[in-house]
Chain A
Amino acid sequence: MSAAAGRLMIAVPRGALLAGTLDMLDRLGLDTAEMRDNDRRLLFERIGTLVAAPDAAGTPGDVEVGAITMRPSDVPTYVEAGSADLGVTGKDVLLEQVGEGERSGDRDLYELLDLRFGGCMMVLATRAGENAQGESPAAEALRRLGVMRVATKYPRTARGHMERTGRQAEIVEVKGSVELAPLTGLAEAIVDLTATGRTLVENGLVVREEIVHCTARLIANPVAHKLKAPAIERLLARLRSEAVAA
């Protein structure tokens, strides 16, 4: 066995969660300067060593860490395949790809820790204003047409929410700016993730329902979770003590 407890490859999400993830890696004493400087490079073989004391079984403490960067929705794919041992992604991505409370088996991943940054709310929103009966455009459509059309980038989450609340819905999947859908008559409502609500307001939309609060999560490959247990536990211990200190 080498002098390290193992080498961990971490999948780091680009976009809204990138800054929080890099700050977290910095606090662990890893070197993210290269990742911050070069946003074209995707693979960072080594970003430092997590220094730790040997454990009770005498396994050496130091853990070498590498990183790969990708869009947040790809993180579960790389981690499930074992191309990364660990990954950081949003709960919104996990709800959409792994589900919650329903049957498992779509994705085989461990969800280890709520990292508490990147907080966002999954909401159902419609155009502002009510009709004479005080109904939102979506409620009116549901009453008069029997179905509410919901545009979203999160079809599974949206369908689950409509089923749990006992309403008939047509889910319209879009890839880009979902705010456009209610403005053009494609749908009466949208289900989307919002941090500040500014984009909604700027497009004349209002939040009607809050579905679920989402934060960044640390996920693990199920085989790495066993074969690299000492290294993963050391990283987790550091992250948990950080959380207590903060």
Chain B
Amino acid sequence: MIHPIPSGTRDVLPDEMRELRLISDALRKGFEDHGYREVYTPALEYEEVLGRAELAEAAPAYRLFDETGAALALRSDMTPPIARLVSTRYQDARPPLRFCYLAHCYRRVRPARGQSRELLQAGIELIGAPAPEGTVEVLTALCRTLDGTGLKDYRVGLGDASLFGALMARLGVPEHRRAALLGALVRRDFVLLERLVGEIDIDAQARRTLCEGPQLRGGIEVLQQAPGPLADALAGMREVAGRLPRDVADRVIFDLGLVREIGYYTGAVFEVYDPGLGAPLGGGGRYDELLGRFGRPLPAVGFAIGVEKLHIALAGEERGSGAMLR
């Protein structure tokens, strides 16, 4: 008899499970070596609680009712549950707090390579440590933990979620046009961005900065050579860059166009790329306002890595083949 399982889910058999276990163990060790202690929270939460975070595209997709009629949701991301945990169970604890997790999250994605609807995420959250020091600590833990899994060719894209908004304000883009421009950038549609910018009544130089700024990415020179109005908006990124240890800085691609789908990021945002996979392995950033929505306002920063994606990238590097290892 063949019994199906839902689209986007899968069984894991011993050969794969053994490899996933080795990767999970390496990740857990990396997190713990950096002082992050593991927690676990329920996969099911009250929908109202998860809804406090602005998850936008990554909002919980699976909902059900319990026997009292309360609306529950399967978590789509571990950061809101940890924000809830901190404000509920660590009300009086002195920050900074350091937590890590390896936990399944649930999203209604179009199933693709390394994209399951039930995905195993491994990550850390550093709560109560502001920028730039907190950001530097988390980026360092991210890189050294990935090193510990044996991943070799990865890079970390580093941007700032507030950058494009600040740039639009500085260049005099009318407020009612800003959401559409940001939307084009989030959708990675530079043709649309250019068209929308062309409709705005600002000078030609400002238009160029709006179109070309978000396409700047590369080494530290990107921060040094950015033109006037953009350079002012980069102060936060420069502060982080100046404090990164050498081995971490060598991994970083400064990316002035990096924006993430999740809405709660307030400052630095990052994504992990490896030539073994055509999609980012994971990412994270600063969410300095999220904890406040749960009643304990604290600056915070964290990241999550997709364990299945990391597995594909490791296997690709090992074989010397994969998305960009042709």
Contact = CB atoms under 8 A, between A and B. Distances in A.
Contacts of B21: none
Nearest to B316: A82
A81 B261 contact: no
A221 B253 CA distance: 16
Nearest to A111: B189
A70 to B, nearest CB: 16
Contacts of B17: none
Nearest to A230: B218
Interface stretch (A14-22, A98-106, A157-165): A98-106
Contacts of B215: 233
B280 interface: yes
B275 A227 contact: yes
Interface of A: 9, 56-57, 80-83, 85, 98, 100-101, 103-106, 108-114, 217, 221-230, 233
Contact of B323 (A83, A104, A113): A83
B278 A221 contact: yes
Contacts of A228: 324
Given A221-B323, A227-B324, A230-B218, A106 B191 contact: no
B191 A112 contact: yes
B306 interface: no
B187 interface: yes
Given A222-B279, A223-B278, A81 B113 contact: yes
A224 B324 contact: yes
B323 A112 contact: no
* Residue of A80, A108, A226 with most chain B CB atoms under a 10 A cut-off: A226
A216 to B, nearest CB: 11
B219 interface: yes
Nearest to A113: B191
Contacts of A230: 218
A233 B255 CA distance: 13
B221 A226 contact: no
A83 B278 contact: yes
A221 B113 CA distance: 14
B97 interface: no
Contacts of B221: 56-57
Contact of A223 (B110, B188, B191, B280): B280
A81 B324 contact: no
B186 interface: yes
Contacts of A104: 57, 186-187, 261
5 contacts: A85-B324, A111-B188, A217-B191, A226-B157, A229-B218
Contacts of A57: 218-219, 221
A227 B188 CA distance: 16
B55 interface: no
Contact of A111 (B192, B219, B261, B323): B192
Contacts of A106: 110
Contacts of B323: 81-83, 221, 223
B190 interface: yes
A106 B274 CA distance: 21
Contacts of A108: 188, 279
* Residue of B217, B271, B274 with most chain A CB atoms under a 10 A cut-off: B217
B278 A105 contact: no
A82 B273 CA distance: 12
A111 B190 CA distance: 6
Contacts of A110: 188-190
